[in-house]
Amino acid sequence: MRFLLVEDSDELAQAVASGLALEGHAVDRAATLGEADDYLESAPYDLILLDISLPDGDGRDFLTRQRRAGASTPVIMMTASASVTDRVATLDQGADDYITKPFDFAELQARCRAVLRRQSGVADSRRHFSGFTFDALGATVTVGDEVRELRARELRLLEILLSRPGQTYSKPHLIDRLFSFDEEVSDNAIEVYIGRLRRKLEGSGARLETLRGVGYRLIPE
């Protein structure tokens, strides 16, 4: 998944971005609301982590503008306020969740997973499809009685493909979803991850199909 992190503290931003990258997420970091606007004009995001107090304005005003413009990207507000009134107001303005600073990274991970599950309409971290079970929380694919571990980017790629089985995803689209602007991506990076994922799905009733010159899709065998 691709996240936009809007946070002016270098120390906190680096810690959050590094932790999310280890999970296979692509993270772009904006230190101001102006930078956040630029990023949003350049790429689609699956989730925005938004600080309230930023050098050029209030994150809540930014959120209100986004919602009034029709943007539906999930937003988790990061706030130093423990006031119930402030937290309720943040949710009423269109935030999908909030987390109070200082926070434990494990809690942020859990809140990100919960918001993304709600966004996709999936309540459970496990998904059954054509002869295999995908466990996003456990980072595994189970085929028959065999549990196969997924590396971080394999997991994120399977999440994307499983979000709409049968839909074709182009290579540029997958690159946008899996890699941040700061990462150097080779031309065959997606092909490498597709190949790895195919091996993890061997023996199931699913097929990861390549449509030459078009993209990739996950379909029943």
Nearest to 77 by CA among 105, 106, 27, 112: 112
Single residue among 69, 97, 120 that ends a domain in this structure: 120
Rounded CA-CA distance 190/4 in Å is: 21
State residue 89's pLDDT score: 81
User: Do residues 91 and 140 share a domain?
Assistant: no
User: Do residues 93 and 145 share a domain?
Assistant: no
Q: What is the DSSP letter of 169?
A: B
Single residue among 73, 95, 120 that ends a domain in this structure: 120
* C-alpha distance from residue 156 to each of 20, 46, 118 (Å): 12, 12, 17
User: Do residues 114 and 134 share a domain?
Assistant: no
Provide CB contacts within 8 A for 151, sequence distance 6+: 24, 196
Does 121 have pLDDT greater than 90? no
| pTM for the full predicted model | 0.77
CATH code (residue 37): 3.40.50.2300
CATH code (residue 185): 1.10.10.10
Provide CB contacts within 8 A for 77, sequence distance 6+: 50, 51, 52, 59, 60, 63, 90, 95, 97, 98, 99
Place of tokens 């956040």: 36
User: Do residues 172 and 106 share a domain?
Assistant: no
Q: What is the pLDDT of residues 80-97, one digit of tens each?
A: 876 777 778 888 889 999
For residue 168, which amino acid is it? T
Q: What is the pLDDT of residues 158-204, one digit of tens each?
A: 999 998 899 999 999 999 889 988 888 887 899 999 999 999 999 99
Q: What is the pLDDT of residues 40-90, one digit of tens each?
A: 999 899 999 999 999 999 999 999 999 999 999 999 999 887 677 777 888
Residue range of the domain that includes 152: 126-220
The token pair at 35 is 């930078």
CB atoms within 10 A of CB 147: 12
Paired residues of 208 in beta bridges: 218
Query: Count of domains in the chain?
Result: 2
Q: What is the CA radius of gyration of the chain?
A: 18
User: Do residues 214 and 182 share a domain?
Assistant: yes
Single residue among 73, 98, 120 that ends a domain in this structure: 120
User: Do residues 132 and 162 share a domain?
Assistant: yes
Rounded CA-CA distance 207/188 in Å is: 20
